[in-house]
Amino acid sequence: MIVLGLGQPSAGDDAVGLAVVARLRGLGVAAELRTASCATALVEALGEGPVVLVDALVDGTVGAVRVLPAARLEGAGAASTHGLSVPAAVGLAEALHGPVELAVVGVTIAPPGPGVGLSAAVAAAVDPAAAAVRGLVEGGDVPRDPR
């Protein structure tokens, strides 16, 4: 299983996916841990097998952690500082590879802007998000997209 953290380190809270993967590395989670600043990395990863994506969402209470199947991404408020949106990357992966196995662990942020480091609310969500990812990895519970 691949865990992919997306984020822009120079866009403040948008780097939360990177921070969660860094935490997972420290915990020794038994998955292939990757980070990227562009959602095109998701297209490649989905061609290799089940993926847990960790990314920022702009939808809801800042610091909230949400676990979503791929089918719920369209209205989930994924912050696209990645060039290609996550839903578009999933669609491209499906066109190239067929049905995909994807779960998303999202952390809600305020609209991203320039800056380095996470806000206090988003930093406090790193451990709960890492726990959610770990649960998905250890349970092997990454759903196949029914689209």
Q: What is the CATH number of the domain that holds 56?
A: 3.40.50.1450
Give dist(CA 38, CA 135) in Å, integer: 25
Domain for residue 84, yes or no?
A: yes
Domain for residue 87, yes or no?
A: yes
Residues in the chain, overall count: 147
- pTM across the whole model: 0.88
Domain for residue 1, yes or no?
A: no
Q: What are phi and psi of 128, to 5 degrees?
A: -60, -35
Domain for residue 29, yes or no?
A: yes
* CA quadruple 126, 73, 87, 133: dihedral sign: positive
Q: How many domains does the chain have?
A: 1
DSSP H helices, 39-139, are 40-46, 86-97, 120-124, 126-139
Domain for residue 106, yes or no?
A: yes
What is the domain range of residue 41? 6-139
Domain for residue 144, yes or no?
A: no
Alpha carbon distance, N-terminus to C-terminus of the chain: 21
What are the pLDDT tens digits along the chain (147 aa)? 999 999 999 999 999 999 999 999 999 999 999 999 988 999 999 999 999 999 999 888 999 999 987 666 665 445 455 567 888 889 899 999 999 999 999 999 998 889 999 999 999 999 999 999 999 999 876 655 544
Helix (H) or strand (E) holding 55: strand 51-57
Domain for residue 146, yes or no?
A: no
Do 48 and 2 touch, CB atoms closer than 8 A?
Answer: yes
Give dist(CA 59, CA 75) in Å, integer: 9
Domain for residue 104, yes or no?
A: yes
